[in-house]
Amino acid sequence: MNYNVRGDNLEVTNALKEYVEKKVGRIEKYFDTPPTSDVFVTMKVVKDVHTVEVTINFPGLVLRGEESNEDMYVSIDLVVEKLERQIRKHKTKINRKFRQEGSLRTLFKDEPNGAAVKAVAEDDDDLSVVKTKRFNIKPMHIEEAILQMDMLGHSFFVFSNADTEEMNVVYKRKDGKYGLIEPF
């Protein structure tokens, strides 16, 4: 993996960089061949709170984790644990899909009352859509979309950008500022 480690309000020492590479490198054990993906790590310190953000772009999958703690090394450990949980969850979904679509699904049909197949089906409920909303989208500027989002009390707002005539999303960040998602 190719590491891109940078610091905000923090000088990234060799020791920190080596620690990040060692800890994040642990996720390679989950893959058959070592991944060649880029790993983007941002470390920052704000008021004695050490935050680590890691983003890894794999083909068909983006892993992202962010953790904060009073100690930078603990933050790194916590974010790696979060990434490992994401990988395990993704691998479980892939294996479950293979089991249902492939020949391995037939192994569970002989169970009494289909208990094993039923258990797998119950796990899929957490991915189902429980509510659908439809609404008219009028063109507006980014500032107006932020005001609309705040008035509604939502953490994000989908709108048609009046400047670019494309669908955009504004969202409220953890630091209280706003972000914009736009297609490219």
Q: Which domains does the chain have, with CATH numbers?
A: 2-97 (3.30.160.100), 139-181 (3.30.505.50)
- The pLDDT, as a whole number, for residue 101 is 55
- On whether the pTM is more than 0.85, the answer is no
Burial of 158 (0-12, 13-18, 19+ CB in 10 A): middle
pLDDT band at 172 (very low <50, low <70, confident <90, very high): very high
- The pLDDT, as a whole number, for residue 115 is 43
- The pLDDT, as a whole number, for residue 134 is 80
CA distances from 28 to 48, 85, 113, 183 (A): 31, 13, 39, 31
Size of the chain in residues:
184
